Chain A
């Protein structure tokens, strides 16, 4: 599937920048995302120092050496990239994006490159190149679909990831991500949405009451329970924006009776470090591990969020103990398992409208969780439809790689990054679009709004909430008898 190139008017809209000229001047950066003030002096030297420090303490050198030897410049990746399809700008060809950084590596960190550079006296990293990288690496959604199409096996997503990390050491990183991460790691609330604990507890109690009113079922969000099987970390923004997802999750746990808890010490699954800095990635992952251990929890349970799941699943073992690290599971795995075990009953005709499932890149690309949510959905949505391509070949929502949290690039995300996805959604004819990811949900809602598509974007558990068949034993007996039939009439 391919999307059409944007028109000049669409381009103007998508690439419009709200940045003041004096800020651009001062920061020597034309990028559309906001950046906090940083030291602009001698950026090439700063960049190379950061690059060298990172190479020294990482495994990137192995990959970069391999990539520069392999790169065949076949341009097969171009046709896969949803950004390139939309812009038609050759600078958006994934291989070109990678070459920006690979060429710096070749010139400054390989013997041949250094010799050649010295002899010919050229190729030294320039300010312009740094600006180009700052623009290019954040135009990419880090979806890693191009990687699947590269015969040479160059992981363009990895190169973008590294490029952003190096830039962040200079202070060039989207302000939205940096500010949130600062609050998460150093702020009073300790989470990216700056939710204080009392507000969190209020919210959860409110949801408990809501469910009781709606279903006459008593549910409980357990807080700070020690020795629980699962310690729960959703994208913290879910507490503000995805009440229905949380209601579905608490409903599932109510039915199964398994022990789970949220810790008041730390309750945020979001990890923007994955998008801009390995150092931050490490710090955030360690907070998740520490809170789970504080509560003597057995497993880390991540809510409906792609990048939160990937950063915990892949980086808890990396940063918190390797073989001995705590197991990490995603909520969809849990719900699928209890449903398979027959502990969760779903009404086969709960949702009659056409439903499609969107694979979050961070969950599907490495073939981690693909069939489970589909099996669940098919169990209660008789009109389940697929968007193609899907599964590990899925098309990104267009807000991946942290870009969804950068509000000032919304027009770009919904006009360029998400354009192919919009076509896909339209073609599927779905009414409900299920996206088990806080990032994807926000992006897809903005996408369908900006592109004028009549679809409701929901989480998987939002729908499960509607489909659960409750055993009588869960119904609250104390509620007035006449209230229940009344409720059903309302339905």
Chain B
């Protein structure tokens, strides 16, 4: 068991983390490359930066958006994201692990806050899952991954919480810890290949949608040639 834990903590962690980072980097680079290419191809290179920035920021500080449309779902989703992002990054135990291996750390969340946020993440994830099942519109659109993600994400939070709080027996502690680490690693590996990839490219969405409307010139001729439609009537 201990050997397995060490393996999960060590090589397996490094491997999955590398996939996460490299995978996201790949997507980011592809996205940015797409934007650069699109701008190179079009003659209209003016970008309404103000509008793009406002519409991008509106989603990062979604105060106005929350209550304008589906307020319950939107608030749940925001709280969920807050817990999801803050806890893994600012947990004392995680930071000290980092410090141990790479030599630097950053300020941690107070334990009480970490606990509250963990429970918040778990609660909201389950609520979002339930909401997806109940809502006629969401369930119509949902794919398998849309149902699975909130459930998968709960696992590391729940097991982490148990390890940090409950005075469980050493065996149970180890099982929980192993599940905690392995589930997190599975998540890392999956992120770049699923919708969670949005965590890296979301800031580019409004820019992409704006530039997408800027077409390259002379495409009429080019498309006609490719489709053998040259000289064909309208």
* A interface, CB within 8 angstroms of B: 49-50, 53-54, 56-63, 65-66, 69-76, 78-80, 90, 93, 95-96, 99, 147-149, 151-155, 158, 169, 178, 181-182, 185-186, 278-280, 282-283, 314-315, 317-319, 321-323, 325, 366-367
Contact = CB atoms under 8 A, between A and B. Distances in A.
B226 A53 contact: yes
Given A74-B77, A186-B234, A62 B141 contact: no
Interface in B114-155: 135-138, 140-143, 146
B67 interface: no
Contact of B41 (A59, A73, A153, A279): A59
A62 B37 contact: yes
A278 B198 contact: no
A279 B69 contact: no
Given A72-B198, A158-B213, A322-B45, 7 more contacts: A63-B208, A70-B201, A73-B146, A90-B137, A149-B69, A154-B209, A315-B215
Given A59-B42, A318-B215, A318-B217, A70 B226 contact: no
Given A63-B208, A75-B135, A283-B220, A178 B70 contact: no
Contacts of A153: 55, 59, 202, 205-206, 208-209
Contacts of A49: 227
Given A58-B219, A69-B197, A317 B51 contact: no
Contacts of B222: 56-57
B90 interface: no
Contact of B234 (A95, A182, A366): A182
A322 B202 CA distance: 28
Contact of A185 (B146, B215, B234): B234
A76 B73 contact: yes
Interface string B15-41: 000000000000100110011011001
B220 A282 contact: yes
25 contacts: A49-B227, A54-B223, A56-B222, A57-B216, A62-B34, A62-B38, A62-B212, A70-B195, A70-B197, A74-B138, A75-B137, A90-B136, A152-B202, A158-B213, A186-B234, A282-B217, A283-B220, A315-B215, A318-B44, A318-B217, A319-B218, A322-B42, A322-B44, A325-B43, A367-B51
Interface size class of B (residues with CB under 8 A): 35 or more
Contacts of B77: 74, 151
Contacts of B204: 66
Contact of A99 (B43, B141, B146, B224): B141
B70 A79 contact: yes
Shortest Cβ-Cβ A-B pairs, 4 listed: A153-B205, A322-B43, A62-B34, A63-B212
A62 B197 contact: no
B201 A76 contact: no
Contacts of B205: 66, 70, 152-154
A469 B199 CA distance: 58
Interface of B: 27, 30-31, 34-35, 37-38, 41-46, 48, 51, 55, 59, 62, 65, 68-70, 73-74, 77, 135-138, 140-143, 146, 195, 197-198, 201-202, 204-206, 208-209, 211-220, 222-224, 226-227, 229, 233-234
Contacts of A149: 65, 68-69
A284 to B, nearest CB: 10
A151 B141 contact: no
B33 to A, nearest CB: 9
A84 to B, nearest CB: 8
Given A50-B227, A65-B31, A318-B217, A60 B202 contact: no
Contacts of B48: 366
Contact of A318 (B142, B214, B226, B227): B214
A69 B69 CA distance: 24
B143 A56 contact: no
B220 A279 contact: yes
Contacts of A182: 233-234
B69 A80 contact: yes
A325 B213 CA distance: 17
Contacts of A325: 43-44
A175 B208 CA distance: 32
B234 A280 contact: yes
A29 B94 CA distance: 59
Contacts of B201: 66, 69-70
A66 B34 contact: yes
B192 to A, nearest CB: 9
B122 to A, nearest CB: 20
A317 B42 CA distance: 9
A58 B137 contact: no
Contact of A62 (B35, B45, B46, B65): B35
Nearest to B222: A57
The residue in B30, B205, B206, B227 that gathers the most chain A C-beta atoms within 10 A of its C-beta is: B205
B26 to A, nearest CB: 11
Contacts of B142: 73
Contacts of B41: 59
A317 B216 contact: no
Contact of B223 (A279, A315, A318): A279
Contact of B137 (A72, A93, A367): A93
Contacts of B38: 59, 62
A366 B135 contact: no
B219 A57 contact: yes
A96 B135 CA distance: 15
Contacts of A53: 223, 226-227
B140 A278 contact: no
A93 B213 CA distance: 22
A66 B31 contact: yes
A158 B220 CA distance: 18
A22 to B, nearest CB: 25
Contacts of A78: 137
A283 B45 CA distance: 21
A62 B140 CA distance: 27
A76 B212 contact: no
Contacts of A57: 216, 219, 222-223, 226
Given A59-B211, A75-B138, A314-B213, A151 B34 contact: no
